[in-house]
Amino acid sequence: MFEKEQNFIADKITQYLKTNNLPEMDVRWAWIPFNGQWGISTSFFQLAARSFGAEKGNVAQKANEIAQGVASAIEMPAGFSKIAAVNGYLNLYFSPADYSRRVVDEVLSAGDDYGKGQPLGKRVMFEFSQPNTHKAFHVGHLRSAFLGDVLSRIAEAAGYDVVRANYPGDMGLHVIKWLWNYLKYHKGEKPEKDITRWMGAMYAEANKRLEENPDLDAEVRAIYSRWDKKDPEIVNCWKETREWSLIGFKEMYEKLDIKFDRYYFNSMFEEPGKEMVAELINRGIADDERPQGGAVIVKLDEKLGLKEEKFRVIVVQRSDSTALYATEDLALARQKFLDYPDLERSYYVVDVRQSLHFTQVFKTLEIAGFDWATRCQHVSYELVNLPGNVVMASREGTVVLLEDLIREATSRALEVVREKNPDLSEESKLKVAEAVGLGAIKYPMVSRDSGKIVTFDWETALDFNGQAAPYIQYAYVRANSILKKYNAPLPESILPDDQLSTSEIALIDLIARMPGEIQKAAKELKPLTVSNMAYELAKAFNDFYGQCPVLIAEEPVRSARIRLVAAAKQAIANSLALLGITAPQAM
């Protein structure tokens, strides 16, 4: 917001350094990190250290000398109130009235677009969610879904063209097992409602039967080879039952407000994958050990001439010639770039256990000479576990089903709404409960560093207080409530009193940082940056709310504060939108 002034001062600094025979420096601005101090700063430590060359010297003292020299040598640009040298830093303090007006005006004129960056003309793809058909959808699957969704929203806001891709696992051993169980024991049955739960239960049943009687494995293998020969009964049954899962998934995505531009199916890549493997064999990249009873493999370390093991060996096709995940991933990666040749980055939002798998796949593609191979990137995240570090596994039955969590969270939220706001219509109460319940589920998944395991427990998941989505939603509702009472068009832009309170300053400061935080989140692929920002905004607003009366304030303070409330409301709404969390008008 002060680019011109920043560059102006940077030029002045460069000039000063030149006339004083000091080394050049790259002026980088940062926010002054203290509460109640408002402005930007740059430090001179690096410069001071370099100015000594090989000699020793007191860097801190020198840095401060330079800062002081600069501070006294440059004149203050408009919009600032003070320039000072502090402990080796040059601090430029904003003129509060000017600055706050600038920020508030900008937010109000940009509206829903506030915080977004200019279009970059660059396209990226996020592949995420990858649910397995014929299986349950549980809380462990939520992290990829939410992470991918929020990363997509952030990248879009930062100015990228984003392709959201889903890659359902619609074929594999799990599906074959399911089909076996269905054809043998449930032929002709159809799910009435709660489709995903029914599909998951059937899968668990299949596993139980196979565990109790391992002799049945032969029947499962028979189904697999019938599938491979495209036996019409198997193929048709697969098509029909797969559709049931997909219908269930679509319902869930709709509820979670997650959209996809493109569906790639696992099953689409069996044949193309095998063709690519055949080519790899022809070109001497893959070794075909099938004649000796082995599989088709790529000895990555050997091909790269590495002495120590790093990429190891990847199996790209089974010894019985069926496709496995790696086979399909080769073809999928290629397909993405055939569909979108200008893709700058192809992200795979998949859990951390598959890190090696993806480095192997991408390396294989690189060795094969695909120039886009280095544009593929695995975005890994840690698991969602149950207390005691128990992994959620549909086979073990240690899962919390998504539909159960949603039902529980919304009914719990409904209870609270009834208690807090009995005057709302029943319909509004239900809507609020859904917004609050879903927000509460989502927030913890995107407000934690991806590298950290999330432990799911009901108590925490259903706790709506503190650093959680409902807190942010509540701040939004309060802002909205003030504006509703005000009930008139916003006042004209106004230069507020210079005596802004610290809570007003803190709030405006956070709002002003929003565009930078969004860019940072997109660059670092860190949704947590945005969820933190949303929370900080809400906190700052709640603080302001407690300290600064709005409607009963004297003019012109009243008008300035009303505009600030509107700006804060907009900023909170925009940050919630980036998280895919609904901002209710009342709650």
Partner RNA sequence: GUCCCCGUGGCGCAAUGGAUAGCGUGCCGGCCUCCGAAGCCGUUGGUGUGGGUUCGAAUCCCACCGGGGACACCA
Q: What x-and-dash track marks residues 338-377 binding RNA by CB under 7 A?
A: --------------xxxxxx--------------------
**421 is a site residue for RNA (CB under 7 A):** yes
**530 is a site residue for RNA (CB under 7 A):** no
CB of 149 to RNA, least distance (A): 18
Contact stretch for RNA (CB under 7 A) within 152-160, 369-377, 401-409, 474-482: 474-482
Return the H-helix or E-strand segment holding 279: helix 270-282
- Tokens encoding 211: 């565990």
Contact stretch for RNA (CB under 7 A) within 215-223, 247-255, 399-407, 454-462: 454-462
DSSP 3-state percent helix, strand, coil across the chain (nearest 5): 55, 10, 30
**Residue among 23, 111, 119, 294 that touches RNA (CB under 7 A):** 294
- Closest to RNA by CB, 183 vs 430, is 430
Residue among 572, 566, 573 nearest 493 (CA) = 566
**462 is a site residue for RNA (CB under 7 A):** no
**Residue among 432, 530, 557, 560 that touches RNA (CB under 7 A):** 432
- Closest to RNA by CB, 259 vs 353, is 353
- Closest to RNA by CB, 99 vs 340, is 99
CB of 285 to RNA, least distance (A): 14
CB of 192 to RNA, least distance (A): 27
Q: What x-and-dash track marks residues 187-226 binding RNA by CB under 7 A?
A: ----------------------------------------
**438 is a site residue for RNA (CB under 7 A):** no
- Closest to RNA by CB, 223 vs 587, is 587
Pinpoint the alpha helices (H) of 447-501: 458-461, 469-486
- Tokens encoding 154: 């952030």
**250 is a site residue for RNA (CB under 7 A):** no
**539 is a site residue for RNA (CB under 7 A):** yes
- Tokens encoding 477: 């509702």
**Residue among 172, 200, 496, 527 that touches RNA (CB under 7 A):** 172
**422 is a site residue for RNA (CB under 7 A):** no
CB of 478 to RNA, least distance (A): 5
**3-class SS of residue 447:** coil
**Residue among 7, 72, 87, 236 that touches RNA (CB under 7 A):** 87
Rounded to whole angstroms, the Cα distance separating 544 from 563 reads: 13
Residue among 186, 185, 180, 172 nearest 216 (CA) = 180
**Residue among 210, 391, 462, 490 that touches RNA (CB under 7 A):** 391
Pinpoint the alpha helices (H) of 344-452: 355-367, 402-420, 426-446
Those residues with Cβ within 8 angstroms of residue 295's Cβ, 6 or more apart along the chain or in another chain: 289, 315, 316, 317, 318, 319
Beta bridge partners of 347: 126, 377
CB of 342 to RNA, least distance (A): 28
CB of 326 to RNA, least distance (A): 7
From residue 284, alpha-carbon distances to 280, 281, 322, 329, 374 in Å are 6, 5, 20, 20, 21
Residues numbered 251 to 290 that lie near RNA (CB under 7 A) are 266
- Closest to RNA by CB, 421 vs 559, is 421
**543 is a site residue for RNA (CB under 7 A):** yes
Q: Are 106 and 571 in contact (CB under 8 A)?
A: no
- Closest to RNA by CB, 145 vs 417, is 417
Residue keyed to tokens 């028979």: 222
Residue among 352, 347, 357, 343 nearest 378 (CA) = 347
The 3-state secondary structure of 307-352, one letter per residue = CCCCCCEEEEECCCCCCCHHHHHHHHHHHHHHHCCCEEEEEEEEEH
**474 is a site residue for RNA (CB under 7 A):** yes
DSSP E strand stretches across 447-542:
454-455
Name the burial class of residue 109, with classes exposed (0-12), middle (13-18) and buried (19+) by CB atoms within 10 angstroms of its CB.
Answer: exposed
- Beta-strand pair 287-288/262-263: unpaired
**Residue among 9, 252, 285, 550 that touches RNA (CB under 7 A):** 550
CB of 570 to RNA, least distance (A): 17
**430 is a site residue for RNA (CB under 7 A):** no
**489 is a site residue for RNA (CB under 7 A):** no
CB of 452 to RNA, least distance (A): 5
Residue among 318, 321, 335 nearest 372 (CA) = 335
Rounded to whole angstroms, the Cα distance separating 6 from 28 reads: 9
Query: Is the peptide bond preceding residue 556 cis, with omega within 30 degrees of 0?
Result: yes
Residues numbered 33 to 52 that lie near RNA (CB under 7 A) are 33-34, 37, 41, 43, 45-46, 49
**73 is a site residue for RNA (CB under 7 A):** no
- Closest to RNA by CB, 190 vs 452, is 452
**556 is a site residue for RNA (CB under 7 A):** no
Beta bridge partners of 169: 132
**Residue among 128, 160, 260, 325 that touches RNA (CB under 7 A):** 325
Residue keyed to tokens 């930062």: 158
**417 is a site residue for RNA (CB under 7 A):** yes
